[in-house]
């Protein structure tokens, strides 16, 4: 049985550990770098690199008080789903399934927020659902594009290719899909202009939206789960030029720098503007690129 072979195969087991243990550390460091760079954009010095870890550890040590016990349940479900999806990414599993497992976490985050009758967390939960609704079709279509280029939804198929994914079928369709992926990335990183449900910054017009009622160690879990998700989405970004480590690093640095820039120069949209802009432009771009891929 293959399930047991996973344990016996040292390479697979190694990747499992990378996904489980190294990924959240990397995610936390990325968050630290993000905060420093954002501060630099605003002519500030910013916090230490390890600040996200201090924050999470402090939250873990706080008193646990919740207004509904489902917050405890949902934060753990979110954490489990995020970690599982990240591990599945490193095990080169099926992109769609990875993404659906990630969606389990997203749905439980919302259920937790909705389980408390506080107006702020209720609005945050509703807006989070709108965000999910906005990015989910785009991600599915990006994966379909990858399928059309490689013949499989499995990540292993991307690594098996000689050419970078970005250069498949005359560059244009894959670059368009990469832009679409960028939209989804912005939502998943909780960055402006799409941070309507709960900003990664500390403060917004609906307090902290979907996170308002998560406190103490449950908020710590949500934070760490978020690091897993960031690594997962950046991993999908890396797939577009996965033929060399240099290329991966350069692509990730450029993409993330662009995200930080966009975050600093844009204002938060309303849900209607977000949904309209994302669906209109995202669907148009992915439709064109998929049609292109079908044609060749």
Partner 1 sequence: MLDTLLFILIVLPFLAGLGCYVLRAEGVRSLIVVATGGILAAASVMLYFQTPFTYPVEASVQATLFGVSLDEIIMVADFLLLAVILYFGVRHKNAIIVALAILQGALGAYLEFGLIEHAPKAYPTFVIDTLALVMVLIISIVGSLICVFAIPYMKEHEHHLHLPASKQPRFFLVLVAFLGAMNGLVMANDLAYFYFFFEVTTLCSFLLIGHDETEIATKNAVRALWMNSLGGAALMIGIVWIYSELGTLEIAKVISQQHTSAAMLVALGLLCFAGFTKAAQMPFQSWLLGAMVAPTPVSALLHSSTMVKAGVYLVVRFAPAYADTNLGLAVALCGAFTFLGTAALAVGQSNGKKILAYSTISNLGLIVACAGIGTPTAITAAILIIIFHAVSKGLLFLCVGTIEHGIGSRDIEDMRGVYGKMPVTALITMAGVVTMILPPFGMLLGKWMAIESSAGSLFVIVMLALGSAITVLYWARWAGGLMSVEGGEKFKTESQAALTRAPLMILCFGAVVLSFLAPWIYSDMVVPLIKLSPYAVAAGGLQSGAGSFAVIPLFIVGLIGFGVAINALRKARSSHAFDAPYMAGIQSPAVAGAYTGPMNKPVVVTTGNYYLSAVFGEEKLTPYGNFAAIALLVLMFALGGLF
Partner 2 sequence: MLDSFIKKSRIKSPWLLHFDCGSCNGCDIETLACLTPLYDVERFGIINVGNPKHADILLVTGCVNHRNKHVLKTIYDQMPEPKVVVAIGACGLTGGVFRDAYNVVGGVDKVIPVDVYVPGCPGKPEAIIDGVVEALGKLSEKQNAAAAAVAAE
Judged by beta carbon distances under 5 to 8 A according to partner kind, the member of partner 1, partner 2, none in contact with residue 46 is partner 2
Q: Helix, strand, or coil here: 94? A: strand
Please select the residue that binds partner 2; options are 176, 181, 185, 219, rule is CB under 8 A: 219
> Residue 272's Cα: distance from chain center in Å?
22
Please select the residue that binds partner 2; options are 204, 255, 286, 289, rule is CB under 8 A: 204
Please select the residue that binds partner 2; options are 216, 227, 232, 239, rule is CB under 8 A: 216
Residues 88-117 that bind partner 1 (CB under 8 A): 93-97, 100-101, 103-104, 107, 110-117
Q: State yes or no: residue 67 binds partner 1 (CB under 8 A).
A: yes
Residue 223 and residue 296: Cα distance in Å, rounded?
43
Residue 7 and residue 3: Cα distance in Å, rounded?
7
Judged by beta carbon distances under 5 to 8 A according to partner kind, the member of partner 2, partner 1, none in contact with residue 35 is partner 2
Please select the residue that binds partner 1; options are 120, 178, 183, 227, rule is CB under 8 A: 120
Residue 163 and residue 243: Cα distance in Å, rounded?
7
Please select the residue that binds partner 2; options are 202, 245, 246, 294, rule is CB under 8 A: 202
Give φ, ψ of 280 to 5 degrees: -60, -55
Residue 139 and residue 240: Cα distance in Å, rounded?
14
Residues 225-244 that bind partner 1 (CB under 8 A): none
Give φ, ψ of 124 to 5 degrees: -60, -45
DSSP sequence for 151-208: S-SBHHHHHT-SS-GGGTTSSHHHHHHHHHHHHHHHHHTT-TTS--S--SSS-BTTBT
Nearest distance from C-beta of residue 267 to partner 1, angstroms: 21
| CA distances to 113, 208, 220 from 122, in Å | 6, 11, 20
Stretch that binds partner 1, among 120-128, 169-177, 188-196, 233-241 (CB under 8 A): 120-128
Q: State yes or no: residue 13 binds partner 1 (CB under 8 A).
A: no
Nearest to 234 by CA among 186, 271, 166: 186
Judged by beta carbon distances under 5 to 8 A according to partner kind, the member of partner 1, partner 2, none in contact with residue 140 is partner 1
Q: State yes or no: residue 75 binds partner 1 (CB under 8 A).
A: yes
Residues 36-75 that bind partner 2 (CB under 8 A): 39, 42-48, 51, 53-58, 60-65
Give φ, ψ of 154 to 5 degrees: -75, 140
Judged by beta carbon distances under 5 to 8 A according to partner kind, the member of partner 2, partner 1, none in contact with residue 29 is none
Binding site for partner 2 (CB under 8 A): 35, 39, 42-48, 51, 53-58, 60-65, 202-204, 207-208, 211-216, 219
């Amino acid at each position: 049985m293959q399930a047991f072979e996973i344990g016996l195969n040292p390479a697979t087991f190694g990747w499992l550990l990378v996904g489980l243990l190294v990924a959240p550390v990397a995610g936390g460091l990325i968050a630290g770098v993000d905060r420093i760079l954002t501060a630099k954009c605003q002519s500030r010095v910013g916090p230490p690199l390890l600040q996200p870890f201090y924050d999470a550890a402090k939250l873990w040590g706080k008193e646990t008080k919740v207004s509904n016990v489902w917050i405890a349940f949902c934060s753990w479900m979110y954490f489990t789903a995020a970690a599982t999806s990240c591990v599945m990414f490193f095990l080169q599993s099926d992109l769609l399934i990875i993404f659906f497992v990630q969606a389990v976490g997203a749905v439980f985050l919302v259920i937790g927020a909705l389980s408390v009758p506080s107006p702020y967390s209720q609005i945050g939960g509703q807006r989070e659902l709108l965000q999910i609704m906005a990015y989910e079709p785009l991600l599915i279509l990006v994966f379909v594009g990858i399928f059309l280029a490689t013949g499989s939804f499995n990540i292993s198929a991307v690594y098996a290719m000689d050419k970078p994914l970005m250069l498949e079928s005359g560059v244009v369709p894959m670059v368009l899909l990469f832009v679409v992926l960028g939209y989804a990335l912005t939502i998943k990183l909780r960055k402006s202009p799409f941070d309507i449900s709960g900003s990664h910054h500390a403060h917004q017009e609906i307090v902290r939206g979907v996170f308002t009622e998560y406190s103490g160690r449950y908020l710590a879990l949500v934070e760490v789960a978020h690091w897993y998700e960031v690594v997962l989405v950046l991993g999908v970004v890396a797939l577009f030029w996965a033929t060399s480590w240099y290329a991966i690093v350069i692509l990730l640095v450029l993409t993330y720098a662009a995200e930080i820039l966009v975050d600093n120069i844009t204002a938060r949209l309303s849900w209607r503007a977000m949904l309209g802009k994302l669906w209109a432009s995202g669907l148009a771009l992915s439709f064109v690129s998929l049609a292109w891929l079908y044609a060749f």
